[in-house]
Amino acid sequence: MSTQGNIDSVLTEKRVFECSGAFRSTAHIQSMADYERLYQEAETDPEKFWGGIAAELHWFKPWDKVCEWNCPWAKWFSGGEINLSYNCLDRHVATWRRNKAALIWEGETGEVQTLTYQQLLLEVSKFANVLKSLGVNKGDRVAIYMGMCPALPIAMLACARIGALHTVIFGGFSAHALVDRITDSQACLVITQDGSFRRGAEVKLKPAVDEAVPSCPSVKNVIVFQRTGTPQTMFGGRDHWWHELMAHASDECPAEPLDSEHPLYLLYTSGTTGKPKGILHTTGGYSVGTYITAKWVFDLKDEDVFWCTADLGWVTGHSYVLYGPLQNGATSLMYEGAPNFPEPDRFWRVIERHKVNVFYTAPTAIRAFMRFGAEWPLKHAMKSLRLLGTVGEPINPEAWMWYRENIGRNRCPIVDTWWQTETGMIMIAPLPGATPLKPGSATRALPGVIADVVTREGEPVPPGGGGYLVVKQPWPAMLRTIYGDPQRYVEQYWSQIPGMYFTGDGARKDEDGYFWIMGRIDDVITVSGHRLSTMEVESALVAHPKVAEAAVVARLDDFRGQAIAAFVTLKSGNAPSEELKNELRAWVAKEIGSLAKPDDVRFSDELPKTRSGKITRRLLKEIAAGGEVKGDTTTLEDLSVIARLSAQEE
């Protein structure tokens, strides 16, 4: 175990997987030598590097300067004029891609809808005219509260086309969360739908809008898309049916040339305080960053069907369901519903039905599939798959190996992509035709991304030591501010370690320069003066044959500062017992060392998770401490779990 740096690192994974010759021979980037060359070029002359990539997109007016950096304020491609909707649509409609599928949508009920680039451009243009007709202007904020259906990307692209900022609010949030976000953004219009299907039932959306909007005086109009057909109360003068407005709209609406720094969208993310932060992304830099990372990391080819399973309510959906793939002229698949409806093999059925080539999902989903059992994916050949990806949290090596063997059939590289709502684009990830893979590592920083692991004082930590993950140079898709709160932007991201972007994550770099993300800094546990990553203890637990999923948090301990509390779900066929508790404690002691041995082990049916699938450690900490659950719980999937766990007090 290394004790250099600030955070002790105990996880050592020795397996390395080289890319197959077959994959490499057709990849956009085919060797580590090419990667190193690109990385060097970007580091030596970032203006030339990013300028070269930006030139692959359409600009109404060229930029004067690639990057103006006045830490922490950035302007990318200043003086340039661009439109993201133009680069996603018009640019391809002028080529052979005109009749290529841009979006393929599958509803949970099984129906399929395909929109070619040309058809999508018509719908987006019509809806842009609808927005204009309701008085939406360049710079206005539009809140979108929908499920996964084609109207959602149409609405987003229509906003981008006229220079209105969209703020997509995940359809699983409550009316209360809607009020907070609409109030903070002062949105003038809400776009919603009657409901969406999930796990065979209707998720009602319009009723939440009806509950929220009376507390939101900024909202003048509500547009309602019809998906389920459930009758709605329409409020005269305020509510309009999508299909009625679209029936009369012209399908011509030229994309508005926008200043490169024109705001593109707001996306709310939770911070350490209860108040959500409106992360602001702007047009030119975000376009360039998502365009090139989608191409490189997912190795997108014109023949590919790309499926990113994220909801468009999250940044992953913004960057890699919609804007990244469409700028590349790719075919992007969207699925409306639950992964296990009607049976646990729905995702594998979707892959077979649409011959998906590149599949991008979250570790939490992969662990759920592990729990359902390998027999479900093994029913399907899934021969079309050539590349797999993960995002959202550290993936433990066991899950990585399961994904590789049972989904990729040992044939597909896995890209573990590290990034954040704030970074807008993937920052650390393998280039699948080049980078040798190590299970559990997001590998190296992408060319143009200067990331490092440093001490609290900003000093680089030598290889093997843990520390704070930072980014030392601006990048095009970086957030520009927190909407309405520039001071919080400066404090949260640029003042913790002055002059560097503070990610809030702990990490270590190994001798090969590979990054091993250890999770959020506030998930780090200090035991007897040694700081341990919760993720590393979790990985050890999950490696036990009876454990499905584990979450580890700290609780105060008079003796050692902090003690480790582990919450564990078991694979089916295993029952909780005192014996098993002791077995698991001994197991971790053996895997990592007695320092990391959990003091408490609690079993549960499920772990409490945010809507995006992240384990809610904050709540588990309160349970571990024996306290009551306080704070913002709007992001919880199932509160009853907390009650069940709390009820297990010994």
**Contact in structure between 507 and 453 (CB atoms under 8 Å):** yes
Query: What are the DSSP calls for 460-518, one per residue?
Result: BPPTT-EEEEEE-S--TT---EETT-HHHHHHHHHTTTTTSEEEEEEEEE-TT--EEEE
> What single DSSP character describes residue 164?
P
Helix/strand/coil for 249: coil
- For position 442 contacting ligand WT7 by CB under 6 A, the verdict is yes
Residue numbers 249-308 binding ligand WT7 by CB under 6 A? 269
In degrees and rounded to multiples of 5, residue 589 shows phi and psi of -60, -40
**Contact in structure between 329 and 301 (CB atoms under 8 Å):** no
- For position 315 contacting ligand WT7 by CB under 6 A, the verdict is yes
Secondary structure element (H or E) that encloses residue 265, with its range: strand 263-269
Q: Which is nearer to ligand WT7, 89 or 453 (CB)?
A: 453
Q: Find the binder of ligand WT7 among 66, 517, 548, 570 (CB under 6 A).
A: 517
Q: Which is nearer to ligand WT7, 420 or 526 (CB)?
A: 420
Q: Which is nearer to ligand WT7, 125 or 417 (CB)?
A: 417
Give the shortest CB-614-to-ligand WT7 separation in angstroms: 7
Q: Please choose, out of 215-223, 258-266, 503-511, 525-533, the segment that lies near ligand WT7 by the rule CB under 6 A.
A: 503-511
Instruction: Report the sign of the C-alpha dihedral through residues 519, 520, 525, 531, in that order.
Output: positive
Residue numbers 392-421 binding ligand WT7 by CB under 6 A? 392-394, 416-421
Give the shortest CB-169-to-ligand WT7 separation in angstroms: 14
Q: Find the binder of ligand WT7 among 520, 531, 555, 597 (CB under 6 A).
A: 520
**536/513 Cα distance (integer angstroms):** 19
CB burial of residue 119 (10 Å; 0-12, 13-18, 19+): middle
Give the shortest CB-394-to-ligand WT7 separation in angstroms: 4
Give the shortest CB-136-to-ligand WT7 separation in angstroms: 27
- For position 519 contacting ligand WT7 by CB under 6 A, the verdict is yes
**387/329 Cα distance (integer angstroms):** 18
- For position 320 contacting ligand WT7 by CB under 6 A, the verdict is no
Residue 324: CA atoms inside 13 Å, Cβ hemisphere, count? 28
Secondary structure element (H or E) that encloses residue 162, with its range: helix 151-162
Question: How do strand 189-193 and strand 141-145 relate by DSSP bridges?
Answer: parallel
Residue located via tokens 């592990």: 370
**Contact in structure between 308 and 166 (CB atoms under 8 Å):** no
**231/497 Cα distance (integer angstroms):** 54
Give the shortest CB-20-to-ligand WT7 separation in angstroms: 22
Give the shortest CB-507-to-ligand WT7 separation in angstroms: 9
Q: Please choose, out of 22-30, 191-199, 216-224, 500-508, the segment that lies near ligand WT7 by the rule CB under 6 A.
A: 500-508
Q: Find the binder of ligand WT7 among 85, 129, 503, 534 (CB under 6 A).
A: 503
Q: Which is nearer to ligand WT7, 27 or 442 (CB)?
A: 442
CA angle (224, 227, 229) in 5-degree steps? 90
Q: Find the binder of ligand WT7 among 81, 184, 398, 505 (CB under 6 A).
A: 505
Residue numbers 3-22 binding ligand WT7 by CB under 6 A? none
Q: Which is nearer to ligand WT7, 160 or 415 (CB)?
A: 415
Q: Which is nearer to ligand WT7, 79 or 408 (CB)?
A: 408
Q: Please choose, out of 124-132, 157-165, 282-290, 499-507, the segment that lies near ligand WT7 by the rule CB under 6 A.
A: 499-507
Give the shortest CB-523-to-ligand WT7 separation in angstroms: 8
Give the shortest CB-249-to-ligand WT7 separation in angstroms: 34
Secondary structure element (H or E) that encloses residue 642, with its range: helix 640-646
Q: How far is CA 469 from CA 2, 329, 502, 597, in A?
A: 17, 33, 7, 26
Q: Please choose, out of 60-68, 336-344, 385-393, 630-638, the segment that lies near ligand WT7 by the rule CB under 6 A.
A: 385-393
**Contact in structure between 227 and 31 (CB atoms under 8 Å):** no
Residue number, nearest CB to ligand WT7: 421
Give the shortest CB-410-to-ligand WT7 separation in angstroms: 21
Give the shortest CB-224-to-ligand WT7 separation in angstroms: 29
Q: Which is nearer to ligand WT7, 126 or 609 (CB)?
A: 609
Q: Which is nearer to ligand WT7, 49 or 419 (CB)?
A: 419
Residue located via tokens 């593109």: 264
Q: Find the binder of ligand WT7 among 222, 388, 391, 497 (CB under 6 A).
A: 391
**550/602 Cα distance (integer angstroms):** 10
**617/314 Cα distance (integer angstroms):** 20
Q: How many residues bind ligand WT7 (CB under 6 A)?
A: 20
**132/159 Cα distance (integer angstroms):** 10
**427/292 Cα distance (integer angstroms):** 11
Give the shortest CB-245-to-ligand WT7 separation in angstroms: 33
Give the shortest CB-503-to-ligand WT7 separation in angstroms: 6
Give the shortest CB-262-to-ligand WT7 separation in angstroms: 23
Q: Which is nearer to ligand WT7, 319 or 406 (CB)?
A: 319
**472/157 Cα distance (integer angstroms):** 32
Residue numbers 328-347 binding ligand WT7 by CB under 6 A? none
**Region label for 92, one of left (φ > 0), alpha (ψ between -120 and 50) or beta (otherwise):** alpha
Contact positions vs ligand WT7 (CB under 6 A): 269, 315-316, 391-394, 416-421, 442, 503-505, 517, 519-520
